[in-house]
Chains A and B, each alone.
Chain A
Amino acid sequence: SQTIHQWPATLVQPVGSPLSLECTVEGTSNPNLYWYRQAAGRGLQLLFYSVGIGQISSEVPQNLSASRPQDRQFILSSKKLLLSDSGFYLCAWSVGDYGYTFGSGTRLTVV
């Protein structure tokens, strides 16, 4: 069966510090991978998506970046965090048009 792992679960980082969040998928090949952010009480905002290794599409200009070094690995990074980067970060995968499976999420607080 397919599973998605996302870590860490919670993170408290100071303003200006770097960020690296990792997501891995098991049990499927060539998935579409996504990074979403959910601010408190808000909807999901698509940040990045990837349809293959090294292929990254950015939806929102910001100080975040994403990489896909392996087929089932998706990484979200920042060189310098801002207060506005706080939120609930969700990795998701899909194959075909059957909806998303989300990871358990990372709750990031920038202080």
Chain B
Amino acid sequence: QKEVEQNSGPLSVPEGAIASLNCTYSDRGSQSFFWYRQYSGKSPELIMSIYSNGDKEDGRFTAQLNKASQYVSLLIRDSQPSDSATYLCAADTGGFKTIFGAGTRLFVKA
């Protein structure tokens, strides 16, 4: 069964620090990877996508992909209390199916 694994957390970091979120995926055929942010009681919001090995930066966010290790990560620089949310990692396994991890809860302490 195709899976995406994440540490459920909570991950607690002080304001201004770097938050590092990780996930692994089981399907080597996956080509596209996404990070979603979900505030409590709200729907997920796409924040990053990554398709090739290496780093992709967008503002304070950097996504990293290593297909050989089947590993995806998200770094949040200068973390703010407003970044406190659950972060979902997702892998597109093809055939119109995206598998989501259960999410990592992040708390940024002011």
Task: Show the binding face of A for B, using Cβ within 8 Å.
Answer: 32, 36, 41-44, 46, 49, 51, 57, 59, 90, 97-105
Contact = CB atoms under 8 A, between A and B. Distances in A.
Interface of B: 4, 31-32, 34, 36, 42-46, 49, 51, 88, 90, 92, 96-98, 100-103
B61 to A, nearest CB: 14
Given A90-B43, A99-B34, A102-B44, A44 B100 contact: yes
Contact of A42 (B42, B49, B98, B102): B102
Contacts of A105: 42-43
Nearest to A98: B49
A27 B77 CA distance: 34
A103 B43 contact: yes
